[in-house]
Amino acid sequence: MDTLDKKNDMINVINDEILKYLKKYSGKEMYEPMEYSLKAGGKRFRPMIMLLMCEALSNDYKDAIPFAVAIECIHTYSLIHDDLPSMDNDDLRRGVPTCHKKFDEATAILAGDGLLNIAFEIMLDKLQNNFEKKYLKAINCIAISSGTNGMIKGQALDIKAEGKNINEKELFNIYENKTGKLILASMKAGAIIGGASQEQLEIIEDTAYKLGIAFQIQDDILDIEGDQEKIGKPINSDLKNNKSTYVSIYGIEKAKKDYINLSSQVLKNLESLGFVNKQIYHYIKNLINRNS
Amino acid sequence: MDTLDKKNDMINVINDEILKYLKKYSGKEMYEPMEYSLKAGGKRFRPMIMLLMCEALSNDYKDAIPFAVAIECIHTYSLIHDDLPSMDNDDLRRGVPTCHKKFDEATAILAGDGLLNIAFEIMLDKLQNNFEKKYLKAINCIAISSGTNGMIKGQALDIKAEGKNINEKELFNIYENKTGKLILASMKAGAIIGGASQEQLEIIEDTAYKLGIAFQIQDDILDIEGDQEKIGKPINSDLKNNKSTYVSIYGIEKAKKDYINLSSQVLKNLESLGFVNKQIYHYIKNLINRNS
């Protein structure tokens, strides 16, 4: 199986598992809006790096599947709530109407709440079946990252910053928390489940942190130079929303330079971990060259 | 120490612990709205029955404190989201402006999300410190009860029912899920942590179920006959919101009769558990006679 096939294979695994778990944990009243938002696509970036990191360390990823599904549930809940009229007020997400546009606001709020709750139900169930400390450590890592010292803090800062000129430090604080913490948690949880040593874990944390910032800078660049159809949302939306971004603060040239610099550090870290022939290396290398 | 003093003492413990845990788990960006809603009062009914159930079984309640704080965080998050304009659109809760009125809608949505996340962080931390299956069992019980097969399902059904005439079965489905499941989880988690036997657990589940329905019927009666200042929200609000309630379906007389009947079954169950001299018995007996 070549690299591309293997990658698509894992995305299929993730997509199948998401629906399997959703059926198991959600009552029929909430299934439709949650399924709609989960199915609306996305790269499955977070579950992918979690499973691939686990596989790189242990040659297996099956034990990480419940956590990969959970992290996608958390990511999707955060998008549903972020899109609400009182937040970013977006009508389109991943190329299709946002949850509150397809259904209604109350349903979207509850679907988000439901997905966050389900994420924990799925992970706790795995811990119930395999009562091992490493699984608890992975749940804790994800819980802290998604909370008010992580992703929610980032969203709160982002909303406060809207329409204001913010400085570099404030921008990094948003990036680190709003996007970075969940990317960090994805990679770190995969590493914990894969049995990483403390030394490996430190390198992986540094890698994930840099990947998260790089990912966000790339988003800002694509918002200016991307193809609207490919990225599934209007370009120049940050500009229109009067949002400070890496590009608006540093300019497009420095943004591109910093992006390349961060990306090469990410790959170097993965090389130092001995992952150059592992799927995760190729996946991230491809991701770095994405144009959507 | 007499009964009343002991009860107030435990409410003080709960209030102190809530703020202690909140400080520990919430970032400064979200502290204020979460603290506002948590501090806005309430009877602390759910944490009280959890701690008192744990104490009745084991003569101690300290191990249940993190779970009691967590259940109050979940209850408060559900109130914040239920009060939102797209849900029940309430301006007043527990006698003070609702979270979105005091702050804004985006803040209220994030404060709710944050409190749900914090609830899990607190419980997981306890499990990290005491890696015992009974704590995981308690977390699982709370997680399932608060999710899309529990409280969230109840809220979804409640919203769908608004402005419609629903039948008895539909009303019970709402009561059982929207209010009942979290009350059930409170008592059951307290029992699990207190070391209840399987036989005791079954009686406790039946007790909590009946208490939850009785509590909801009492709310409906108070909405008609209560004192606005004491209950902290306008009376006749269900009538104004065109909501089907136990009283609107069965009439006030049958509501009162069923309430008395359920309440006496709750007390009988507690007697059969040998709790007649325990705090939980007196607490629930007082609660049954509440007029606010």
Chain A residues touching residue B105 (CB < 8 angstroms):
86
Count Cβ neighbours within 10 Å for each residue of B37-48 and write b for 16 or more, e otherwise.
bbebebebbbbb
Does residue B107 carry a pLDDT above 50?
yes
Return the pLDDT at B1: 44
* Per-residue three-class SS string for chain A: CCHHHHHHHHHHHHHHHHHHHHHHHCCHHHHHHHHHHHHCCCCCHHHHHHHHHHHHHHCCCHHHHHHHHHHHHHHHHHHHHHCCCCCCCCCEECCEECHHHHCCHHHHHHHHHHHHHHHHHHHHHHHHHCCCHHHHHHHHHHHHHHCCCCHHHHHHHHHHHCCCCCCHHHHHHHHHHHHHHHHHHHHHHHHHHCCCCHHHHHHHHHHHHHHHHHHHHHHHHHHHHCCHHHHCCCCCHHHHCCCCCHHHHHCHHHHHHHHHHHHHHHHHHHHHCCCCCCHHHHHHHHHHCCCC
pLDDT band at B2 (very low <50, low <70, confident <90, very high): very low
Element counts in chain B: helices (H) and strands (E): 16, 2
Does residue B87 carry a pLDDT above 70?
yes
Mutation for A interface: B24, B76, B113, most A CBs within 10 A: B113
Mean pLDDT of chain A: 92
Chain B residues touching residue A104 (CB < 8 angstroms):
86
Most confidently predicted of A138-152, A164-178, B211-225: A138-152
pTM assigned to the model: 0.94
The whole-angstrom separation of Cα A210 and Cα A216 is 10
Half-sphere CA count of A80, side-chain side, radius 13 A = 32
Average pLDDT of the residues in A170-174: 94
Interface touch A155/B110, C-beta < 8 Å: yes
Chain B residues touching residue A147 (CB < 8 angstroms):
25-26, 114, 117-118, 121
Domain boundaries, chain A: 3-287
Interface touch A81/B113, C-beta < 8 Å: yes
Average pLDDT of the residues in A127-137: 98
Q: What is the pLDDT of residues A191-207, one digit of tens each?
A: 999 999 999 999 999 99
Chain B residues touching residue A86 (CB < 8 angstroms):
104-106, 109
Q: What is the pLDDT of residues B208-258, one digit of tens each?
A: 999 999 999 998 998 888 766 555 555 666 666 677 889 989 999 999 999
Chain A residues touching residue B106 (CB < 8 angstroms):
84, 86-87, 159
Q: Is CATH 1.10.600.10 the right assignment for the domain spanning A3-287?
A: yes
Q: What percent of chain A has pLDDT over 90?
A: 79
Q: What is the pLDDT of residues A237-278, one digit of tens each?
A: 666 667 788 998 999 999 999 999 999 999 999 999 999 999
Q: How do beta strands B96-97 and B92-93 pair? A: antiparallel
Chain A: give the shortest CA distance to residue B198, in Å: 18
Return the pLDDT at A236: 64
Q: What value of ipTM does the predicted structure carry?
A: 0.94
Q: How do beta strands A92-93 and A96-97 pair? A: antiparallel
Nearest neighbour of A153 by CB, restricted to B27, B121, B156: B27
Return the pLDDT at B225: 83
First to last CA, chain B: 25
Chain A: give the shortest CA distance to residue B104, in Å: 8
Chain A: give the shortest CA distance to residue B39, in Å: 18
pLDDT band at B9 (very low <50, low <70, confident <90, very high): confident
Average pLDDT of the residues in B102-115: 98
Average pLDDT of the residues in B126-153: 98
Residue A179 amino acid letter: T
Return the pLDDT at A105: 97
Nearest one of A191, A189, A162, A188 to A174, comparing CA atoms: A162
Nearest neighbour of B139 by CB, restricted to A114, A124, A147: A124
Average pLDDT of the residues in B103-122: 98
Interface touch B140/A147, C-beta < 8 Å: no
Q: For residue B236, is it left (φ>0), alpha (ψ between -120 and 50) or beta? A: left
Return the pLDDT at B255: 95
Q: What is the pLDDT of residues B175-221, one digit of tens each?
A: 999 999 999 999 999 999 999 999 999 999 999 999 999 999 998 99
Mean pLDDT of chain B: 92
